[in-house]
Amino acid sequence: DAEVKLLLGDSYVGMKDFSNAREVYEELLAISPSSPELQERLGWIEGPSYHDGFPDYTMLTPDFSYFTDNFGFLYSTYGLRFDLGITNYLTIGASAYGGLLGSDSLTNNIAIYKGSLIGRFSKTVYASASLGSTLFQNDESQLLAEVTLKAEQPKVYSFSANFFSMDAAQLLYSPNLVDTRLRSNYFLLMGDYIIKTGWKFAGSYAFLTVSDDNKANRLILRFGKIFDKVVGVGYEYYYFDVKNETELYWSPENFETHSIWTDWEIVNDAEVTANIGGRLGYIPSDEFILREFYGVTSVKLADSFTIQGRLTFSTTAQSGQGYTSTSFGLSAFWSF
């Protein structure tokens, strides 16, 4: 069984028995010579010089995303990303997307172009940076920049620091920003940790600035229990506060929610993974019951080709009104 052999190789690495780990990985590589997962693992053992060929890997990623809400806002993108593995530890990429920003009365065509650089410092730590531009149909443009530093061991811990700078409409999702150009900067810290007994602790803090001299703080805290490593249930506290009220975008003061969250890993094997979950909570300031559901799935159709899909429905309150949104995304990953 290929998946069991892969886990065996990972176990050898964890025990620092690199000789046996190399033997297991090379057996699997003979079956799937183009597998980027195996090449990456052998790179952990042998270093960047393990592969004599160039490039180390290439990946093509078509991507489509769609968001809409009952306030009339629409944000949709479609495009392609190309990644080139220079070594096991260094990847460069380029992407191009078309899209729409829309409201009930206006539709704005956009184009997004950016280049990226990804560096992997170890099997758990990596950093990425991208720089580009969002172009609007009236010849206006906004700089697009993203920086991420992340450390992760799946199902144990994940910590990341992120910075995003972009047009405010791409971040604040307001119909009043479709034809109004403001710049926004977004600083985000995220982390979660699962202890051996299955208790999970997670949180995120975000600080947002907007070029209209506004700023905001957002805090999310979660804790809960993971049962049998597949079902999680717990409590979430959400806080969002904006300095200055404005009609251009949602800008609440001391907005809070209290929710019960759940995540369920319904399928997890070598070819298919699927997760569903959501929140059910209460908004004291609006006396409103919030509901949210999400689903994420990944299907491996071949060693070098995987499709991922994601879907989210949400009903909450904004500015004293019921607010409903739907988002959908579909991506394909083709390595060769």
Q: Mention every residue, 6+ apart, whose C-beta is less than 8 A from residue 78.
A: 63, 64, 65, 97, 98, 99
* 230: pLDDT strictly greater than 80: yes
Stretch 18-43: mean pLDDT: 77
Contact between 215 and 208 (Cβ < 8 Å): yes
DSSP letters for 113-178: EEEEEEEESSSSEEEEEEEEEEEETTS-EEEEEEEEEEEEETTTEEEEEEEEEEETHHHH--GGGT
How confident is the model at residue 46, as a pLDDT? 61
Among 4-18, 22-36, 56-70, 82-96, which is the least confidently predicted range?
22-36
| pLDDT bucket at 150, cuts 50 / 70 / 90 | very high
How confident is the model at residue 136, as a pLDDT? 94
How confident is the model at residue 4, as a pLDDT? 82
Stretch 93-120: mean pLDDT: 95
